[in-house]
Structures are given as C-alpha cells and as structure tokens.
Amino acid sequence: MRSWPISAPRAGPRWLGAFFVAACAAPLGAMGASAGGGTPLPLNARVLRLSDVQRYTFLPRPREQGTTRDPATWSKESGPTTVQLRRDGFVVGIREDLGGSPNDTVAESMAAQFKTPAGAARAAAQAVIHPRRFPVLGIPGARGFMLISGSTNSEQFFISFSDGVFAYLEGFARPLDEGLPYPASMAAATVSLYHRVHARPSPR
C-alpha cells in the first residue's frame, strides 16, 4: 500500500514535494528522433507494464490510469506550464500509478502526445532537473535525476525522454531506509518501455 507520495516535476494536487524545473542541457535535436514508421500503438500502452520492472514487484492499483486533453490539468501532473503546453502543441496525456513490494516502492509512469516532435522534445526538456544525476544508456537524449524528499522521507528517481511526438516521464520512489530500486533497475525498466514505444505512431 502506498504510504507516502512520490514527488514530480511540479507540485500539484496529486504530486507532492519540492522540485527544480529547468530546461535540459542536451540539444533538443538529440531527443524525439523517432521516424514514426512502426506499428501504431495506443496511448494506454505507452506507460510502464509490470513486465518492464523485473527486480521488484509492482501491483497496479486497480488499473489506476487517467487521461486528459486539458493542458491546465496536465500541467499539474507533468511540469511544463499551461502556456508552454499550448505552445508546444499538447494533444493528450496519460498517467499510471503503480505501488508494490518489496520495501513499499511506488512508481508513476506518464506519456503525452504533442503535435510535433519538437514540441515533445521541449516538454521532455522541461521535466525534473536536479544536480544528482545518473546515466540512462540505450535511450537517446534521456536524463536521469535523483532527489531526497524530506517531507516524505523518500529517495526519488526520474527519467525523462521523448520519442517522435511523444514525451515520457517515469518516476520511482522508495523509503530512505530501504535498498530498492537502484537507479540502474529503474533505467532498465525505462529502456524496456522505450523499446516498446520507439518509432510507433498513434493509431489514426
């Protein structure tokens, strides 16, 4: 059972905690390079699956997914402001919550569609920035971040990337007195997600 909240790029009704929000240092052209020529994939298949996470067990909270086409609502979830989302061509976003064991780990997985790859890349670049970083190999332009949330006594990990017209943000959290998940485990789960979504357009 989730006993403490995971933080997110910006504080909002469902995301609690303090964040540093800024533009990524990587060139936007390094992100969102997908050609979009694969088999179409719906939005609800662009979040983490339980099979992506292999070092610990996540239990979906009775399929706790939510979607919105409202930029103001998505701004509270994802980091960019409503003005930025409208400028970047926000179309629709989805968020899924996962809670599990061991160690009362929680995770949240988000994906958003934009009108252009450039818009998705800008949105990914406006995700969490923090001095404590970890490498994310296997996903072009991806960035990993770590932070400590004193209000929830938790260590939190985030990975942000874009692929084609989609921007993704994956977040994991654990109590400070527990040992999982390691950033490498989170990165492996996100790479698994990337392999599933890469170059796959939205159904028409």
Q: What is the pLDDT of residues 138-148, one digit of tens each?
A: 999 998 888 88
Confidence (pTM): 0.79
Task: For residue range 61-89, list pLDDT tens digits in order.
Answer: 545 788 999 999 998 877 788 999 999 99
Can you tell me the distance from the alpha carbon of 182 to that of 159, in angstroms, rounded to the nearest whole number? Answer: 13
Pairing of strands 133-134, 106-114: unpaired
The rounded radius of gyration (Å) of the Cα atoms in the chain is 15
d(C-alpha 35, C-alpha 173), whole Å: 33
Closest CA to 89 of 111, 131, 134, 122: 122
pLDDT score of 113 more than 80? yes
Quick one: which of 106, 91, 90, 84 has its CA closest to 157? 106
Highest-confidence range of 103-112, 122-131, 157-166, by mean pLDDT? 157-166
Q: Options 3.30.420, 3.40.1000, 1.10.357, 3.40.50; which CATH number does 28-197 get? A: 3.40.1000
Name residue 37's amino acid: G
Domain positions in the chain are 28-197
